[in-house]
Homo-oligomer: A and B are copies of this chain.
Amino acid sequence: PDDEAAERARARDAELTKPAGALGRLEELAVWVAAWQAAHPPRAARPLACVFAGNHGIAARGVSAYPASVTEQMVANFVEGGAAVNQLCRNVGAGLSVYEMGLETPTADFTTAPALTDTEVLRAIAFGMRAVEPGIDILCLGEMGIGNTTAAAAMAAALFGGTGTDWAGPGTGVDADGLATKAAVIDQALAFHGAALADPLEVLRRLGGHELAAIAGAVMAARMLRVPVLLDGFACTAAAAVLWKVDPAALDHCKVAHMSREPGHRRLVGAIGQRPLLDLDMALGEASGAVLASGLVQAAVSAHNGMATFAEAGVSTREA
């Protein structure tokens, strides 16, 4: 972060016509945006949502309430403008980029092989990095991939300990049998990959997926390009958590946008020391929570940049 920009933001905040701290986390957001954009005043008028889509071999094991073909169908829905994220983007004036990552080539079933080869994971990370361009005000990251809450739960277990039961949740809405299957395949995967999972990047390769590796890449690129990042729900946070495990400071330019209804998310955001901005029982993915939270960042930046100071408005300061 840029300390000078952060300091300028803090100094201005102290002069604005409100009691100190009265805008709560909106104040935190304005300083955070300035610090990571390395610029004051901060900007948030034009967020960009990037949604990466990938397919998962594990989907064939009955871990989702929806068939794997829905990944491709939902990508078409994004392109046609009919999905939730399209409406949410329009609501805040955000752009939307959707990246289809070889949907005809799902990952390998991670209970019997690494999900991705070395080449595949590097290609996906690089792909995600290229999705970020300089000049984006705020990057909202999200994913679409039938089966990927199972991948995310497996990654979270590998990174932070625990079993399939600790991390598996209903995802798109599996029944009790489906939930038991999710927990079981996660445990199988943890046993199969064993000590190789001590390396966080191997967790991404062996248990993750194309879209999850792309998210990790986009997070890294955004930091270099001075773009603050809003992370969506469980799968997106799990992808980013790989970087946190390598270096806990690696996500300082990221905020978890919302607390997902997916139960593992609460545990996961606790593990990486984040407090989500929203808590609305959402569990959709496709960057929906991140885009929704970008409206809060816009509000924070609008208040910070547009408010009058005590001196400008002729408002009395605290009684001495």
- Which residues of A are at the interface with B, using a C-beta cutoff of 8 A? 16-26, 65-67, 69-70, 73-74, 76-77, 80, 82-84, 86-88, 90-92, 172-173, 261, 277-284, 288, 292, 295-296, 298-299, 302-303, 305-308, 312-319
Contacts and interface: CB of A to CB of B under 8 A. Distances in A.
25 contacts: A18-B84, A18-B284, A19-B283, A20-B173, A22-B172, A22-B283, A22-B284, A23-B288, A24-B280, A65-B319, A67-B316, A67-B319, A80-B308, A82-B306, A82-B313, A86-B306, A87-B307, A88-B299, A88-B302, A88-B303, A90-B306, A172-B318, A173-B318, A280-B296, A295-B296
B83 A24 contact: no
A62 B314 CA distance: 22
A62 to B, nearest CB: 9
Contacts of A314: 73, 76
B292 A24 contact: no
Contact of A302 (B24, B90, B296, B315): B90
A84 B303 contact: yes
A65 B320 CA distance: 9
Given A77-B17, A77-B313, A308-B77, A26 B83 contact: no
Contacts of A298: 91
Nearest to A278: B278
Contact of A82 (B69, B302, B312): B312
Nearest to A171: B19
Contacts of A82: 17, 306-308, 312-313
A306 B87 contact: yes
Nearest to A74: B315
A144 to B, nearest CB: 11
Q: 3 tightest CB-CB pairs across the interface, nearest first? A: A82-B308, A24-B281, A24-B282
Contact of A17 (B74, B91, B280): B74
Nearest to A20: B173
Nearest to A83: B17
A318 B84 CA distance: 18
B90 A308 contact: no
Contact of A296 (B16, B173, B292): B292
A67 B69 CA distance: 64
Contacts of A66: 19, 316-319
Contacts of A83: 17-18, 307-308, 313
Given A65-B19, A77-B315, A314-B76, A25 B281 contact: yes
A277 B67 CA distance: 33
A83 B305 CA distance: 11
A238 to B, nearest CB: 18
Given A80-B308, A84-B23, A315-B70, A292 B299 contact: yes
A41 B84 CA distance: 16
